[in-house]
Amino acid sequence: MTVTERLLLLGLLTAVPFAAAAQDVDNITAAYSEDGRYFTEDDVPTYNIREDGTVDWPTYSGFRRYHSECYVCHGPEGEGSSYAPALKVSAIDMDYYDFLDVVANGRTKVTASQNLVMPAFGENPNVMCFLNDIYVYLKARGTDAVPRGRPGKRDMKSEAIREDENACLGD
């Protein structure tokens, strides 16, 4: 009998689900920041909301970009619509890289009653240059870290973010 089996038998492994839940939260919480952008310990972009409600620049930018490019299908504030899924849920449940992949390459679901089309945005700089912003905004909505509506107080856009945006947009 292995140690794990023995512990299971003794009922001493009940702490495992709690450990797993804690791990999930760690995967959303910002572990470090760089030039006004925040990342989890797995180097995945995430949001950072301070105690007084001030949001990081990317979260604010994501609010704006989401509402110009995605909301027509996915509903205001990532809440979903009868046509397309609630992205505030997807941003939490989906792997970051899968999320990027669907946006870049699109996806089509054909059923007997409906043709659901998620367009490919890979060639659209207004989406691709701001995709991490959109992603972190939706993640913040998914955990209710930001309330519905336009975020009020926000950080300034850092010089590094400005330069990266200009380079991406080809300015």
The residue (of 8 and 120) whose beta carbon lies closer to ligand HEC is: 120
Can you list the positions of beta strands (E) in 20-164? 32-34, 37-39, 45-46, 107-110, 115-118
Beta bridge partners of 33: 38
The residue (of 36 and 80) whose beta carbon lies closer to ligand HEC is: 80
The residue (of 4 and 105) whose beta carbon lies closer to ligand HEC is: 105
Q: Do the strands 115-118 and 107-110 form a parallel or antiparallel pair, or are they unpaired?
A: antiparallel
* Smallest gap from residue 76 Cβ to ligand HEC (A): 13
The residue (of 8 and 84) whose beta carbon lies closer to ligand HEC is: 84
* Smallest gap from residue 70 Cβ to ligand HEC (A): 3
Per CB under 6 A, residues contacting ligand HEC are: 69-70, 72-74, 83-85, 87, 90, 94, 99, 102-103, 107, 109, 116-119, 121, 127, 134
* Smallest gap from residue 93 Cβ to ligand HEC (A): 7
> Do the Cβ atoms of 136 and 59 come closer than 8 Å?
yes
> Do the Cβ atoms of 59 and 133 come closer than 8 Å?
yes
Residue found under tokens 């701001």: 130
> Do the Cβ atoms of 39 and 30 come closer than 8 Å?
yes
* Smallest gap from residue 124 Cβ to ligand HEC (A): 8
The residue (of 8 and 92) whose beta carbon lies closer to ligand HEC is: 92
> DSSP label at 126?
H
Calculate the CA 160 to chain-centre distance.
21
Measured distance CA(89)–CA(78) in Å, rounded: 8
* Smallest gap from residue 85 Cβ to ligand HEC (A): 5
